[in-house]
Structure 1
């Protein structure tokens, strides 16, 4: 089973009501993962328990689905921002800054207790794998366009795709002076500057 299938709601067709509930769930998660049952979440959102179960079959799946949805939105916005840019290297710069928002202050609250939920690592790994593949594609295009040096694109893609997550790790976050997002952007800029060809 694909991760997207595992995370998808029990009903694959969303009504307007479901879409509204999902938005409310995102707002609820801004305060951290609630120590609430499905019934209590439904009561807090002023909806029926049935409506909640139509979105996901359990609290864990509900949380994972909501966070997955938020990550997908970040990714979609990143793609929209680069779709009209012709330079692969400029696309890469802008794309990386946008995906690093996934470790920004707002999202930090979302993922604070996420590791306690079964399946969360698979979900994050899935998104990171997609990002890494897309980064490598842009690196290859940048080489073809003679915008960057000949490099091991797979190695650089893995590095650039995991920087944010590494700095967001609890043990590392305590050691850095700035936020994971700011630090990731700073290191990313240094790496990109090092491989860019002077025009």
Structure 2
């Protein structure tokens, strides 16, 4: 028989997963605690165990989304041995994690400062990760400058995060990440020394 603490932990994890999926599908600013409890078929007290207020609950859920996404993205990258392909794998995996997110979710992220800050913080972390992957994939003494590619990638990722990319191109975040991955991978794969190997 499961211990009560273990059962509560599993229930909390299931509720958190449900909240993440609900927020991605419908946003979060339009819900109150009662609405969320009703949609997830749990008590308000279950939600208050996660966080003591709606604002803190939103922050906890958005943080859980990025934590879950990061774990899944890194698991995919760990399966890829080719350094160039690893870049595409990383950015494409990010795109897949963002794909279920609706316009409402992204609009709410921009409207709610703590969530916007989490998105910005995670974008910065991802940009640094891409810079490292680009360095690993770049053949020495070739025209590709890893620092430059990494910085351009970081700027594009920040533009995606701020909503500027969608405003200027009409591309949603997931599509923009896919296209960024394609651009970088094709550019690095075209290095003369790599073609001759």
Secondary structure at the aligned position of 2:113 is classed as coil
Secondary structure at the aligned position of 2:169 is classed as coil
Once the 2 structures are TM-superposed, how far is the Cα of residue 42 of structure 1 from its aligned partner?
2.3
Secondary structure at the aligned position of 1:134 is classed as helix
Task: Tell me which residue corresponds to 1:72.
Answer: 67
Contact 1:149 1:195 in 2 (8 A): no
User: Do the aligned partners of residues 168 and 122 (structure 1) sit closer, same or farther apart at CA in structure 2, a change above 3 Å counting?
Assistant: closer
Contact 1:103 1:180 in 2 (8 A): yes
Task: Tell me which residue corresponds to 2:179.
Answer: 186
Picking from 18, 42, 49, the partner of 2:12 is 18
Contact 2:91 2:180 in 1 (8 A): no
Unaligned runs of 5+ in 2: 1-7
Contact 1:89 1:147 in 2 (8 A): no
User: Do the aligned partners of residues 16 and 170 (structure 1) sit closer, same or farther apart at CA in structure 2, a change above 3 Å counting?
Assistant: same
Unaligned runs of 5+ in 1: 1-13
Contact 1:103 1:165 in 2 (8 A): no
Contact 2:84 2:188 in 1 (8 A): no
Residues of 2 paired with 1:107 and 1:68: CA distance? 17
Map 1:114-153 → 2, pairs under 5 A: 114-143=109-138, 146=139, 149=142, 151-153=144-146
RMSD: 2.9
Contact 2:94 2:174 in 1 (8 A): no
Task: Tell me how many residue pairs correspond in the alignment.
Answer: 185
Residues of 2 paired with 1:130 and 1:169: CA distance? 15
Map 1:10-89 → 2, pairs under 5 A: 15-29=9-23, 30-89=25-84
Once the 2 structures are TM-superposed, how far is the Cα of residue 94 of structure 1 from its aligned partner?
0.9
Task: Tell me which residue corresponds to 2:159.
Answer: 166
Secondary structure at the aligned position of 1:36 is classed as coil
Contact 2:37 2:43 in 1 (8 A): yes
2:154 equivalent to 1:176: no
Secondary structure at the aligned position of 1:47 is classed as coil
Task: Tell me which residue corresponds to 1:5.
Answer: none
Once the 2 structures are TM-superposed, how far is the Cα of residue 52 of structure 1 from its aligned partner?
0.8
Q: Can you list the C-alpha shifts for 1:87-139, whole angstroms capped at 9, x where unaligned?
A: 21111111111113354353544222122223123211221122122212212
User: Do the aligned partners of residues 77 and 141 (structure 1) sit closer, same or farther apart at CA in structure 2, a change above 3 Å counting?
Assistant: same
| Higher relative helix content | 2
Contact 2:130 2:150 in 1 (8 A): yes
